[in-house]
């Protein structure tokens, strides 16, 4: 069981869209700090700060050191999936911002969107969300398909104030 300090430190570690994007980049394949910095178009020192924060809170794991193209020592990092079960207070703005950063530059046909309006009582809403979460949790915790293509899913549930 995590202590209050660990829970708070983990929440702080996940409070950055950049860190969430790093976790996504390292989910299906190990990446070095330089690779992460290049993919996110940021300074390697900035990337390293975020990598170390994620590493110290258990969200990334360092893999065996390897030699790079020029013989330099490189440490690849891989997501531990710990973030999937970590609760974040007031996460909606952070997750929406991260989602928008991740889809920036994609063509409209590269994004599949589903939007539906429902009118459900509280019990039915809870049932629906629990069923959706169970399906997503099942897929999220599976091993990656070796021949798979990395994809992301963003889902938001909210009250429709315009329909009341």
Q: Is the dihedral of CA 55, 58, 59, 64 positive or negative?
A: positive
Residue written as token pair 């794991």: 61
| Segments of the chain with pLDDT less than 50 | none
Does the domain at residues 4-163 carry the CATH identifier 1.10.10.10?
A: yes
Q: How far is CA 86 from CA 6, 82, 91, 136, in A?
A: 11, 7, 11, 15
Q: Which pTM value belongs to this model?
A: 0.84
Task: List, in sequence order, every beta strand (DSSP E) within 13-164.
Answer: 31-32, 60-62, 66-67, 73-74, 76-79
pLDDT at 70: 81
Residue 72 pLDDT: 84
CA 84 to chain centre: 8
Tokens of 129: 């969300």
Per-domain boundaries in the chain: 4-163
Q: What is the DSSP letter of 145?
A: P
């Amino acid at each position: 069981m995590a202590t209050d300090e660990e829970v708070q430190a983990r929440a702080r570690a996940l409070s950055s869209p950049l860190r969430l994007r790093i976790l996504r980049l390292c989910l299906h394949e190990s990446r070095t700090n330089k690779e992460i910095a290049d993919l996110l178009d940021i300074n390697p020192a900035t990337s390293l700060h975020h990598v170390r924060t994620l590493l110290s809170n258990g969200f990334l794991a360092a893999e065996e050191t390897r030699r790079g193209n020029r013989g330099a020592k490189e440490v690849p990092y891989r997501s531990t999936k710990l973030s999937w079960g970590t609760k974040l207070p007031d996460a909606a703005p952070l997750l929406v911002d991260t989602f928008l950063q991740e889809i920036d530059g994609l063509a409209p046909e590269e994004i599949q969107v589903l939007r539906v309006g429902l009118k459900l009582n509280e019990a039915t809403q809870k049932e629906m969300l629990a069923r959706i979460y169970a399906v997503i949790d099942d897929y999220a915790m599976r091993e990656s398909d070796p021949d798979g293509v990395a994809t992301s899913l963003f889902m938001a549930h909210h009250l429709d104030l315009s329909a009341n």
